[in-house]
Amino acid sequence: MGADEAVVAETVLSVLAGLTEQLKADGRLADDRVTRPHPMLLAVRRSDRVVLVAPAEGWDLARGIFKPFASHFADARASLILLGTPSARGLDEALNRGLCCTLSAEPTVDELYVAIHNGFELLDARQRAEKRGEWVNRYRYEIGEFFEIAQAITTERDIDKLLALILEKCRFITGADAGSIYVVEGDDPDIARRTLHFKLSQNDSVTFDASEFTIPVSERSMAGYAALHRTPLNIADVYKLEPDSPFGFDRSFDEKIGYRTKSVLTTPLLSRQGDVIGVLQLINRKKEPSSKLIDLDELEGVIPFDKRSVDLLSTLGSLAGIALENAILYAEQELMLEGFVRASVEAIEQRDPTTSGHSIRVADMTVGLAMALERLDAGTYRDVSFTRDDIRELEYASLLHDFGKIGVREEVLVKAKKLYPHDLQIIRQRFGIALRSLEVEILKRKVEAMERGAGQSDLAAIDAELGERREQLRAFFSTITEANEPKVLSGGDFAMIEEISRQTYVDENGGVHPLLTTGEVECLSVPRGTLTSIEYDEIRSHVSHTYEFLRTIPWGRKFRRVAQIAGAHHERLDGTGYPHRLHASEIPLQAKMMSVSDIFDALTAADRPYKRAVPLTRACDILHMEVKQNHIDGELVRVFIESKAWERLDTPPRS
């Protein structure tokens, strides 16, 4: 005891001693503990709270005696009564530390009792206020976290990411160390005939590989029980389940990974209609959320999930169930849309088997070109970027760019030669009739000559004429079959076709007809390829059909430009394309990209009846020629070739 304390003690020790004895004997404080933790302190303890009585001089001169109670003052578990009047500065400091009142230097026991009573009342009030403050702060915190969690899980559409997010957020808001999530699978109306698919687990304390598996929806498991009865299960210790519990707990997993499951909270995830679509299971609620549950024998840090946790999980689980339902529906819609697109491509290719795989190859190359553009750090398209939905939109437009062929006659689509097979067959039959008519005519002339007594030389001349004219017909037909091939005709070929068209024959009824009709002459006179101008226009109309068909589909905001992109893939930068003769600035970038892929694949695709596939180098040269003619974008062609966009294909074009 210091000199100052000794001076104070001489005047107050006897007072504190007398008050201590009186309080110990006072029945009103029978449940409290009265002690002297220091010669100049009188302490009355009630549970974890204490009221300290000290002389004012002690507060002014011997402040160190209060140090053991610093944490009590800070936590509103201690209040102070001073006997006498402290200094002005000391009074202000005492008020800040928990002073509840001052008494005279020598109060009566009743005065002190009232002061002590008020001191405890003040502590009760302060603790209640702080508790309410803690609850308010906790409530505000939980509401804030809840809104953030709600926003996060309601905006995620990827099912696997959503499940991981739901589990993570539910563990966070309840303080769970671990957890797992199941998805109900199957279409049977009776949930008992369906299965629970274990999708993922999370654990803050141990790391392990968890494989997906399925279990029946039955009461034998906690997850199955919660799903069947559509009710949460809150178990304080799964190792201490009642013997008559319908469900059990398999400890083998704990033993395998070196863990100890104790408290478990299991809740079903419900859809809007109240159907169970999943089960969420939280494991080991921790007193200290940041702690690790390493020591399997010491689980004091694990506590049961309280009612607040159940309420929070119930609310969040309802929201999570709806979010999961939305994600499942979204995935089903995407799957349905994907199936529709693929089925449409299949329908196109069945109408035109000669171009089988074209739409898929064009889509792959165009997506590859888009990815290459995103990697640019210089040039016209260095700032171009595509979202995941943009890429999907581009892919769908590319896959469906030729869907309008559904509206084109199949015989035109697959026309391999200038004449349709049935037209060539008609010409062959016509030549046969012409030959027979010629033979009949020659035979008639020969008979008439014999009746006139013509000599052998005259008859031989008639036979020679028959041979010449027969050979002429054969030459004419040979010219027709050669001109029917999809090749470039020379001037002599055109002249021969014109010559044949002027030849006639006589049918069995004596009627005179041309060997070739006007329509046949037009087909055989096609200078390049197999299509007449009318047929070519019909083929080109597929783009308009594509646009009209695709724009009737409710693609939604994400894919709203599918029709516009697909409908412009035959436009040209100089305005000579079709169907709308758009100029460069009017053509969507995605359509410009698709044009490059479309031309390239048309050139390099496997041999078709009407054309041969060209080598890779020749195809690139042709693309550059198209650039020079201002048909397609030169920068896109450069990136297409440098990135080798065609290498995305399973079978690259031949070099």
Q: For residue 611, what pLDDT is reported?
A: 65
Is 3.30.450.40 the CATH number for 156-330?
Answer: yes
Q: For residue 141, what pLDDT is reported?
A: 67
Query: Which is more confidently placed, 371 or 530?
Result: 371
Which helix (H) or strand (E) segment holds residue 46: the answer is strand 41-46
| CATH fold of 3-129 | Trna Endonuclease; Chain: A, domain 1 (3.40.1350)
Query: Which is more confidently placed, 631 or 155?
Result: 631
Encoded amino acid at 385, one letter: S
Q: Which residues contact 305 (CB under 8 A, 6 or more apart)?
A: 174, 176, 234, 263, 265, 282, 285, 313
Where is mean pLDDT largest: 91-95, 167-171, 559-563?
559-563
Q: Which residues contact 42 (CB under 8 A, 6 or more apart)?
A: 16, 19, 20, 23, 34, 35, 36, 52, 53, 54
**Tokens representing 237?**
């210790």
pLDDT tens for each residue of 409-430:
888 877 888 899 999 999 999 9
Q: For residue 654, what pLDDT is reported?
A: 37
Q: Is the peptide bond before 579 cis (omega within 30 degrees of 0)?
A: yes
pLDDT tens for each residue of 485-507:
887 766 667 788 888 888 888 88
Is pLDDT at 266 greater than 80 in this prediction? yes
User: Cα(170)–Cα(163) distance, rounded to whole angstroms?
Assistant: 11
Query: Which is more confidently placed, 216 or 10?
Result: 216
Q: For residue 241, what pLDDT is reported?
A: 92
What are the φ/ψ torsions at residue 333 (nearest 5 degrees)? Answer: -65, -45
| CATH fold of 352-409+535-648 | Hypothetical protein af1432 (1.10.3210)
Q: For residue 369, what pLDDT is reported?
A: 95
Q: How confident is the model at residue 81 (pLDDT cuts 50, 70, 90)?
A: very high
Are 465 and 457 within 8 A, CB to CB? no
Q: 634 to each of 267, 361, 376, 582, how far by Cα in Å?
A: 60, 21, 15, 17
User: Cα(65)–Cα(41) distance, rounded to whole angstroms?
Assistant: 8
> Sign of torsion, CA 122 124 125 130?
positive
Is pLDDT at 303 greater than 50 in this prediction? yes
Share the mean pLDDT of the chain. Answer: 86
pLDDT tens for each residue of 555-611:
888 899 999 999 999 999 999 999 999 999 999 999 999 999 999 998 998 756 556
Sketch the domain layout of the chain as residue ranges: 3-129, 156-330, 352-409+535-648, 421-530
Three-state secondary structure call for residue 279: strand
Q: The whole model's pTM is what?
A: 0.62
Q: 312 to each of 91, 150, 286, 382, 483, how far by Cα in Å?
A: 46, 12, 16, 48, 82
Q: What is the DSSP letter of 408?
A: S
Note the helical H segments in 63-108: 70-74, 88-97
| Buried residues in 472-489 as b, exposed as e (16+ CB within 10 A) | ebeebbebbeebbebbeb
Is pLDDT at 109 greater than 80 in this prediction? yes
Pick from 243, 239, 295: nearest CA to 263: 239
Q: What is the DSSP letter of 199?
A: E
Q: For residue 650, what pLDDT is reported?
A: 47
pLDDT tens for each residue of 323-367:
788 878 888 888 888 888 888 888 888 877 777 789 999 999 999
Q: Which residues contact 551 (CB under 8 A, 6 or more apart)?
A: 563, 567
**Tokens representing 576?**
């000579």
Q: How confident is the model at residue 6 (pLDDT cuts 50, 70, 90)?
A: low
Are 355 and 605 within 8 A, CB to CB? yes
Q: For residue 12, what pLDDT is reported?
A: 72
CA angle 614/350/593 to nearest 5° reads: 50
What is the mean pLDDT of the segment spanning 177-189? Answer: 89
